[in-house]
Amino acid sequence: MTYQPGEILLDKYRIEALIGRGAFAEVYRATIIKQSKPCALKVLHKDAPGLGNKLFEDFVQRFKLEVELGARIDHPNVVQVFGVEHHGDNLILVMEYASGGSLAERIKEHRESRKYFEIEDALKIAVDVATGLGELHSRDAVHRDLKPSNILFDDMGCAMIADFGLVQVRGLSMRSQISQPIAHPGTPGYMSPEQENIGNYLRPSSDVYTLGLVLFEMLTGRDYNYIEPGTKLSDVIDNVPSGLDKLITKLLAEKSENRPWNGKTAASMLERELSRIRNEREKRVKRELKEAEKRDRKKEKAKEHERLKAKRQAKRAYIWSRIKETLSQISRRTRIITGGLIIGGIVIASLLLSVVHQDIVPKSRTLTTE
């Protein structure tokens, strides 16, 4: 039976929306009515097809284990479990609601767009997850089912570990109740070599290996299990910092003793690498800014040079135009003066000729008379 939005369960919870569905269970976003607080309800239907009584009882034990462990842990990188409820034949696990969705959804979006996680973004998620694992490991527990769908995000983008149904805890998990080692539960593709092959208790480094698988998938979009053993991250993608290349190789070491011992150690190593990469980026950005400023100053200097050059050219052109104008005026004045002198000379010459003529004519007449 699927619950509908607005439906009230146990006079405590109001169903808001169905947000996930598995083979035997459904996950709803709901509201704790008295507190007006959002929560997530994981509902296991006893009458689900293929879910027999034995398997249902196994899930009951898993839910109880989650509640038992949840009572011990209150950490920002671990999804909080509030309790377990019964609604008819249905079993309901009440959990913290992670509004940011799951890593599986983000990986799917990146894969569809063929754009994978930026290194810093992937490392930030890995640090959060490793920190959550560190808290779990400090309780002598091993998650055993770490995978993208069990890594959720809050509204601030902080990554949190969810689903502790398969957690190995001495004294609490079912492995404590059997005399002969049996195969470990888990999700194929997200299991360490020892989880796949050894029935004894797992060490925290088993979860560290799985974290390495998830980080490798975020950065490459590929499943490490289908890549030739010994392949480095730098063999798959370009521009991998050497420190990160070595760190992921260490996380994915075949032998557990060659990996970081637990989540706390892995978180410290991942945090250092993330800080180093951020510092390198900041230095690179500063260097690029300085180079850009230098280029801008050079361009500005060139513009100023061109501006001054244009100004000088304009000034020279103006001076030259004034010189030409002055010369033109002088030329006009010279022509006027020269013309005046010529005319004056002609007038004077005419007058002189006239005087000479007058002096000659009378004398001629006198001689004639005599």
- Determine which helix (DSSP H) or strand (DSSP E) holds 38, and give its type and residue range: strand 37-44
Q: Strand, coil or helix: what is 172? A: coil
For residue 313, is it within any domain? no
Query: How far apart, in Å, do the first and last CA atoms of the chain sit?
Result: 170
36 in the same domain as 120: no
For residue 207, is it within any domain? yes
pLDDT at 369: 46
Long-range contact pairs involving 19-25 (C-beta distance under 8 Å, separation at least 24): 23/48, 23/50, 24/48, 24/50, 24/51, 24/55, 24/59, 25/59
pLDDT at 144: 94
- Which of the residues in the chain have pLDDT under 50? 366-370
194 in the same domain as 115: yes
**Number of domains comprising the chain:** 2
The residues, ordered by sequence, that sit 6+ positions from 55 with a Cβ below 8 Å of its Cβ are 24
For residue 348, is it within any domain? no
Whether 66 contacts 164, CB under 8 Å: yes
Beta bridge partners of 21: 26
For residue 15, is it within any domain? yes
CATH number, domain containing residue 35? 3.30.200.20
Q: Residue 84, Cα to own-chain centre: how many angstroms?
A: 38
pLDDT at 356: 63
For residue 78, is it within any domain? yes
pLDDT at 361: 56
Annotate 16-54 with b (16+ C-beta within 10 A) or e (fewer). Answer: beebeeeebbbbbbbbbeeeeeebbbbbbbeebeebeee
Give CA–CA dist 212/283, Å, rounded: 28
For residue 314, is it within any domain? no
Task: Out of 266, 281, 305, pick the residue that ends a domain.
Answer: 305
Nearest alpha-carbon partner for 153 in 107, 185, 112: 107
Give CA–CA dist 25/50, Å, rounded: 12
Whether 235 contacts 168, CB under 8 Å: no
For residue 315, is it within any domain? no
Whether 164 contacts 65, CB under 8 Å: yes
pLDDT at 319: 86
Q: Tell me the CA distances in angstroms from 331 to 169, 316, 324, 338, 341, one per residue in order.
A: 113, 22, 10, 10, 15
Q: Which of 89, 121, 128, 145 is catalytic?
A: 145
Q: What is the pLDDT of residues 166-224, one digit of tens each?
A: 999 876 555 555 556 678 889 999 999 999 988 788 999 999 999 999 999 999 999 99
The answer to whether residue 145 is catalytic is yes
pLDDT at 247: 97
Domain that holds residue 288: 99-305
For residue 30, is it within any domain? yes
Q: What is the pLDDT of residues 36-60, one digit of tens each?
A: 999 999 998 887 777 777 888 888 8
